[in-house]
Structure 1
Amino acid sequence: MAKKNRILLIDDEHWIREFLKELFIAEGYDVETAGDEDGALQKLRCGTFDIVITDLRLGGSSGIDILKIAKAQEYLPEVLLITAYGSVETAVDALKLGAFDFLTKPLESSKILETLEQALERRKLRANINKSSKETDTNGNGSVRDDYLLYYDPLTKLPNRDLFFDRLGQAILKNEPSGRHLAIFIFDIDGFKLLNDVYGPAKGDEILIEVSRRIESSVFARDTIARVGSDEFGVVADIKREKDIVAVLERIRATLNKPITIGAREIAISTTAGIAVYPRDGTSAEMLVQNAGLSLAQAKRFDRSGFRFFTADMNERANKFFELRHKLTTAVENGELELFYQPYYEISTNRMVGLEALLRWRDDQGGYMLPGEFIPILEETKMIQPIGEWICETVCRQIMDWEKRSIPAVPVAINISPVQFMQQDLTERITSIVKRLGVDPRQLVLEVTETTLMQDIDVTERSLRQFKDTGMMISVDDFGTGYSSLSYLKFFPIDNLKIDMSFVKGLSYDSNDASIIAAIISMAHNLNLRTISEGVENTEQLRILESLKCAFTQGFLHCRPKPADQIEPLLELSMPAGASA
């Protein structure tokens, strides 16, 4: 059995220690923790660790002291620092003292693990270099190989993070007198950890190599490209005017956001980018990369466009996100999450034919937080997996309650998160809940977004057929907003296409939206699929959708999402029991 990498985790906040400890143990690491400087020093001197992770502020102590003592140990661990945004300058000083990198709050699980893997890779390289230098002292060939390993990524052959910072620093010195701009891009492969888990590390490496090749083909020879994280790539582009940045971005993303063929499989990938601009967003390499990384994190949480430029208010929003994540942990424990239901109607009869279950979080002021503010947190922390099962069980119990009280039932749609969908045992988990509670599977509709659908064609087809075999129905949510090869749709056992509300919104004044919806409806009819238009808010939109022969509509025009008890009168006034969408 391979020896586990050992981590010493030092933080004076208990919940952070427990959160990170659970995360690292789940990834197979051996973890020890300390809550103060004294405990940390004792463990450092008595044990051997590959990685030391410490908060910069430990009550009355400083993580800098821990760093110095850790780097003095004979076993030479790599040191990662946890810092708040206000402590970035101190963290940069720590890098000069030998820290590998710093993790900025709010902590993001995927980024923590990526940085950890990179630190371990560096430690391994340094160990190999030390060994190789001893073996090559006599022939003088070791120094060239050592320099290469220190500054280049052995997988993609691109410059690594250290060389990226060095070249960015040189570019700043070069451009300072001329007044030219630099655009710093950090690209991240969306959902790479899931891809790596599903296909295995070897296929994951092939994806990384192909992504690096595509970026190289999209930029000029004078630009710098580097692998700066596990699935992150940095680009420094020399530009004359800030408005040229968009052209560079579009050129790179056009090549990146295309399917990758690995063996006989076509894998749909997408990327997200964070952008910072010199000198507007910083005059040092450290600050520019920090701000590009922050804008990347914001883009992944809140922006469906796939990129975001750094803005001065991002620090405040990031701190708010961190606070929400902490509150959400308590919210789950206290049962503050609730389900609302929104009906959808058959246009030709104006009858309710189904409901969609929607998650809501009741805040401490008695109001409800928008899903877009907390769903990304659930997905990032993977809390969405147990909560997804709670949603399924709650919906099933509600259906059985309505049946027991002879309230006419309609199928209820449950949203399946992309994180849930990649669970290998998702089908078994969902079907076991349905069987245990005795619900007719035909009363459930599973909604999967178009982007999720295309993550892995083989896995998608297998999972959907397993669900369909039980009698459940399948809807493709947000249709028209993601990448999909329409030829694949005929192979999937789909019942409904839900047309994204972004097209419905402009229906009454934008002929392009009307044309897109007409094309989707026509295609759906040819594939024997039904269409549900989301976000219908006025009678003009409804009239146009009726003329385009859309089957069903959902939106505020009919009904806002409501708790189950407020939906019951609408069910009782609706169609006869047994009718279905």
Structure 2
Amino acid sequence: MSAQPPPSSRRALTAFLAVFALAALCAGALIWTLEQQDRAQQRTQAADMAGDHVQALQRAIELALSANNALVALVRQGRGNVTQFEEVGTQMLPFYPGIAAMGLSPGGVVKQVVPRQGNESLIGFDQLNDPRQSAESIRARDTGLLTLAGPIELVQGGLGVVGRQPVYLDGEQGQRSFWGFTYVTIRLPEVLAATRLPQLTERGYHYRLWRVRPDTGEEQTIAASTPPPGADAVGRALTLPNGQWTLSLAPAKGWGTPAVLALRCALGLLFALLMAFLARLLVALKAHERGLAFQVAQRTSEIQATQQQLRATIDAIPDPLFELDIDGRYYSVHSPRTELLVAPAEQLIGRNVTDVLPALAALSVMDVLKEAQAQGWSAGRQIVLDLPGLGATWFELSAARKSGSSGAIPRFILLSRDITERKRSQEQLLLTAQVFDQSSEAIVVADASHTIVRINRAFTRITGYQESEAVGQSVRLLTVAESTPDFDADAVYARLTQEGHWEGEAWGRRKDGSTYPQWLSVSSVRDGNGCATHSITLFRDITVQREAQDRIQRLAHFDPLTELPNRALLAERARRHIADEQAKGGTLAMLFLDLDHFKNVNDSLGHRVGDILLVAVARRLQSLLNPQDTVSRLGGDEFLLLLPSASAAHAAEVATRLLTAVAQPFQIDPYELTTTLSVGIAMYPADGDSFDTLYQRADAAMYRAKQNGRNRYGFFTADLEARTARALQIENALRRALERNQFELHYQPQVSLATRQVVGAEALLRWRHPELGMVSPAEFIPVAESSGMIVSIGEWVLHTAVHDAKRWLDMQLPLRAISVNLSAVQFRHPQLPEMVTRCLQQAGLPARRLELELTEGAAVDDPAAALAMMDQLHDRGVRLSMDDFGTGYSSLSYLKRFQIYKLKIDQSFVRDLDDDANDRAIVSAIIRMAQALGMQTTAEGVETDGQLEFLREQGCDEGQGYLFSRPLPADEFEAYLRQHLRG
């Protein structure tokens, strides 16, 4: 009985044979596909090469045949009679290489030929009746198309083709008649030479140029290699008149490459054998794997049991446990408390401690690993980590080197024990010791019998006692017995066991016997049973604090410059004196004093001289008062004087003395300064029964004195109160007018006096208050200027005016420009040019359409600043006019330098033009001056035809006033412009 191969060997052999057959089949299919692709590529290349030669042959034949066109033109030009044919033909032949002869055949019979020599036998040749050429000649005559005959044996000898072109002539009556032929005889070898067919043989190809005879249908070989190509050749056709030629090519060595085919077959066989061998190995490997699988499963169960036991041991460790190599790379991480890890465990594996830990902590870990590498273990090193949710957390590191095979990278088990609570306790103890020793307050610890057991540094610094001198002494050493009404040392320490704490002020005694104020705090310390075991006494020297309180008290009630009582102290004294006068029915006076033009001293001589002058004034005022009187400085150059038990007459007498005394010169080296006072007086109880009321009314009386010329005094009166109340009411209402849309603009037209046409308008601000009604600009504009609100109000006026002007200009209404008034406060504002530009850009109004009007006072108060502001506005394209010209003070030297476009003549001069010769002279002079300076003029307040006529005669450019129109609201002014547009 023969031996059978084992099952595994039979499966391997079967797999070998099956895979070999399949791989061989795939390789064969691939080789066949590649061969087909190579043959297709070769045939394409051969066809492209044939096409190149065919194109060259076609160009050569077409060039030769084109000579017929020239001959036809000669015949038609001579209307069938060509007398100089030989001469013309001889000149044409060099331009047509390959032509053996060209001729004319009237009626189909050759009459003329070039060259004649060698072609004499062609004269008289009848092309229509010749057996060989009659068919093609008749076809050419009947179709009227060029025909090509041949290849044929030429009379001159050799093979050639004949190109024949029929010629038709137009008769006198427009009919066409056949005249005959023009023909050219082409030597075929010369034409074929241009196609370079022999080069195909040099390139390894057989070729054949052939055609199908149109009369017999047989193939005629025109040119061919030796041997010619076979039936599998590729070809390209050449289309010629009356026929088609074909050039066929085939490789001399046949299609395909046998060497490549053999190589491919060898590679395919090798591939099939290799794949079969791999299949056999795979089957054997699978059998081996099944044998190993059982062994692995058995060992795995043993390892799992060991791992479970090890995991139980590791899980019992509460601190993070890591396995690292000598380079600090994590291999495993274990921690039952994941919050103690700087990152999740899966993110740590494979990373280095230097990548995940702070630099200092990572350096400590690496030091631990190096120490464990050197001696097998390391312990005691500490690190701190800032963990999310836990904050600063301290760890104590312990590491041990794992045993492993020699040559392997060393690994270590690192245990990181959380010692944060222990560390905090240590830090707390250290901090407590540092606080105790470094505290700025003295700390004394005494036992239950009040004997000192410990002191800190501050105790020695404050008292002078060293620790050796104080320890063992009684705490009564610290204070002077019964030093304050609230402190009795014996009583305090006796009650300490019951109350547990005492705090208050006492007097302390130093080692040198001196005393000092101290703030004392005493507390008892009890054990777990509530029994007092120790006392802690804290105290500090409050000498500096006492002095600071005294200084603060003085600063709170006295002016630091003049050392006069300030307003707070004066108010306190005033309330006390008012109460006294009220009780006895008496009177008192309050005087508000303000130095006149004190700002000039500060601006010209500096604040240091100004402060010295204020001190000198304060001393002079004090020297004139009685002891019961009080003079205080409110701030700046303002003083307030309180005269208790004083009548109005006494107050006036005091005010007179003050005015006289202050008016005397003050010698402040190196200056002799003179100043004056403006004094306002308010009386109790006539003008008020409180300090605030008397203060306000004395202030109002002082302002009245300033308005009346300064260096005088004035009493508060009822009409002054009314004016003050009205001004306050106006100011309060004005603050909300803008946001409540209470302002509106009226427009007064400006008219050309020459044409009576509207050329512009002046925007005039109006305030319509729901309770106050229409408030006059003369009343609220000064309030707006003094309060600073004129800036925001002025911006609203400009913004509204330019938007209205833009709307009217877009409507094509007759308006050249809009004028807007500027107050002195606005004109001095540094942001005025930017505000004007912003408003113009937002409205889309050109700058030349805006005129800004300013008063003389605004321009000449600070001429240099005015010039700079005017230059900025002028550079932005805005025009400037001077309003109310002639009513203020203008320096003509500045006027000629100002960027002024127009002067507006004040209505006070225009009003009496009909009756007052002086006004006529002034107005005429203003107009002449403006003309000389290149400025325009506008007269305000024009109300009569007489005024209009005079102004026109004097050359005034424009006018505005009730003669033309009163100021109109925006909608009415728009209607006014529409009316003038229709006019």
Does the C-alpha gap of structure 1 residues 174 and 400 become closer, same or farther in structure 2, counting only changes over 3 Å?
closer
1:203-258 C-alpha deviation (Å, 9 max, x unpaired)? xxxxxxxxxxxxxxxxx9996589xxxxxx9747xxxxxxxxxxxxxxxxxxxxxx
Counterparts of 1:535 and 1:546, CA distance in 2:
14
Q: 2:703 aligns with which of 294, 302, 310?
A: 294
Give the counterpart letter for 2:618 in structure 1: L
Does the C-alpha gap of structure 1 residues 556 and 152 become closer, same or farther in structure 2, counting only changes over 3 Å?
farther
- Which has the greater radius of gyration? 2
Counterparts of 1:419 and 1:536, CA distance in 2:
29
Aligned to 2:477: none
Aligned to 1:51: none
Counterparts of 1:354 and 1:557, CA distance in 2:
15
Identical aligned residues as a percent: 33
Give how far 1:147 is off.
7.4
Aligned to 1:539: 945
Aligned to 1:60: none
Q: 1:403 aligns with which of 792, 802, 809?
A: 809
Counterparts of 1:441 and 1:91, CA distance in 2:
64
Give the counterpart letter for 1:439 in structure 2: L
Counterparts of 1:146 and 1:394, CA distance in 2:
48
Is 2:844 aligned against 1:438?
yes
Give the counterpart letter for 1:415 in structure 2: N
* More strand as a share of residues: 2
Does the C-alpha gap of structure 1 residues 510 and 312 become closer, same or farther in structure 2, counting only changes over 3 Å?
farther
What is the SS of the residue equivalent to 1:355?
A: strand
What is the SS of the residue equivalent to 2:766?
A: strand
8 Å CA contact retained: 1:441, 1:470 = yes
Is 2:553 aligned against 1:73?
yes
Is 2:574 aligned against 1:574?
no
Give the counterpart letter for 2:703 in structure 1: L
Give the counterpart letter for 1:567 in structure 2: F
8 Å CA contact retained: 1:183, 1:276 = no
Give the counterpart letter for 2:927 in structure 1: I
Please tell me the root mean square deviation across aligned C-alpha atoms, in Å.
5.2
Aligned to 2:894: 488
Deviates more, 1:538-547 or 1:462-471: 538-547
Give the counterpart letter for 1:150 in structure 2: A
Give how far 1:421 is off.
1.1
Does the C-alpha gap of structure 1 residues 352 and 404 become closer, same or farther in structure 2, counting only changes over 3 Å?
closer
8 Å CA contact retained: 1:344, 1:355 = yes
Give the counterpart letter for 1:482 in structure 2: G
Structure 1: gaps spanning 5 or more residues: 1-69, 82-88, 105-110, 115-120, 130-144, 154-159, 186-219, 227-232, 237-273, 301-306
8 Å CA contact retained: 1:184, 1:288 = no
Q: TM-score, normalised by structure 1?
A: 0.53
1:236-281 C-alpha deviation (Å, 9 max, x unpaired)? 7xxxxxxxxxxxxxxxxxxxxxxxxxxxxxxxxxxxxx8989xxxx
Does the C-alpha gap of structure 1 residues 406 and 514 become closer, same or farther in structure 2, counting only changes over 3 Å?
closer
Deviates more, 1:459-468 or 1:349-358: 459-468
Aligned to 2:755: 349
Does the C-alpha gap of structure 1 residues 527 and 322 become closer, same or farther in structure 2, counting only changes over 3 Å?
same
Q: TM-score, normalised by structure 2?
A: 0.33
Aligned to 1:416: 822
Aligned to 1:427: 833
Counterparts of 1:320 and 1:386, CA distance in 2:
22
What is the SS of the residue equivalent to 2:556?
A: coil
Q: 2:619 aligns with which of 146, 151, 154?
A: 151
Residues 227-246 of structure 1 mapped to structure 2, 5 A cutoff:
235=676
Structure 2: gaps spanning 5 or more residues: 1-549, 560-565, 569-573, 582-589, 601-606, 622-636, 667-673, 688-693
What is the SS of the residue equivalent to 2:738?
A: helix
Give how far 1:405 is off.
3.1
Does the C-alpha gap of structure 1 residues 330 and 448 become closer, same or farther in structure 2, counting only changes over 3 Å?
same
8 Å CA contact retained: 1:184, 1:234 = no
Does the C-alpha gap of structure 1 residues 527 and 313 become closer, same or farther in structure 2, counting only changes over 3 Å?
same
Does the C-alpha gap of structure 1 residues 147 and 294 become closer, same or farther in structure 2, counting only changes over 3 Å?
closer
1:307-335 C-alpha deviation (Å, 9 max, x unpaired)? 99987522211111111111112222211
Counterparts of 1:344 and 1:492, CA distance in 2:
23
Is 2:777 aligned against 1:368?
no
Count of residue correspondences: 370
Counterparts of 1:505 and 1:333, CA distance in 2:
38
1:535-578 C-alpha deviation (Å, 9 max, x unpaired)? 2222333233233322211112211111111011222243699x
Counterparts of 1:505 and 1:520, CA distance in 2:
15
Does the C-alpha gap of structure 1 residues 298 and 372 become closer, same or farther in structure 2, counting only changes over 3 Å?
farther
1:49-75 C-alpha deviation (Å, 9 max, x unpaired)? xxxxxxxxxxxxxxxxxxxxx999343
Does the C-alpha gap of structure 1 residues 316 and 555 become closer, same or farther in structure 2, counting only changes over 3 Å?
same
Counterparts of 2:713 and 2:760, CA distance in 1:
37
Give how far 1:411 is off.
0.3
What is the SS of the residue equivalent to 2:927?
A: helix
Give how far 1:440 is off.
0.9
What is the SS of the residue equivalent to 2:980?
A: coil
Is 2:931 aligned against 1:451?
no
Does the C-alpha gap of structure 1 residues 146 and 423 become closer, same or farther in structure 2, counting only changes over 3 Å?
closer
8 Å CA contact retained: 1:298, 1:318 = no
Aligned to 1:384: 790
Give the counterpart letter for 1:487 in structure 2: S
Give how far 1:504 is off.
2.0
Counterparts of 2:713 and 2:855, CA distance in 1:
22
Give how far 1:357 is off.
0.7
Aligned to 2:381: none
Give how far 1:437 is off.
2.5
Counterparts of 1:493 and 1:92, CA distance in 2:
61
Counterparts of 2:750 and 2:953, CA distance in 1:
18
Counterparts of 2:552 and 2:887, CA distance in 1:
53
Does the C-alpha gap of structure 1 residues 505 and 299 become closer, same or farther in structure 2, counting only changes over 3 Å?
farther
Give the counterpart letter for 1:76 in structure 2: A
8 Å CA contact retained: 1:445, 1:473 = yes
Is 2:783 aligned against 1:315?
no
Give the counterpart letter for 1:485 in structure 2: S
What is the SS of the residue equivalent to 2:748?
A: strand
Give how far 1:165 is off.
10
Give how far 1:337 is off.
0.7
8 Å CA contact retained: 2:758, 2:815 = no
Does the C-alpha gap of structure 1 residues 544 and 404 become closer, same or farther in structure 2, counting only changes over 3 Å?
closer
Counterparts of 1:366 and 1:319, CA distance in 2:
13
1:466-511 C-alpha deviation (Å, 9 max, x unpaired)? 2222222110011112222111111111111111122222333332
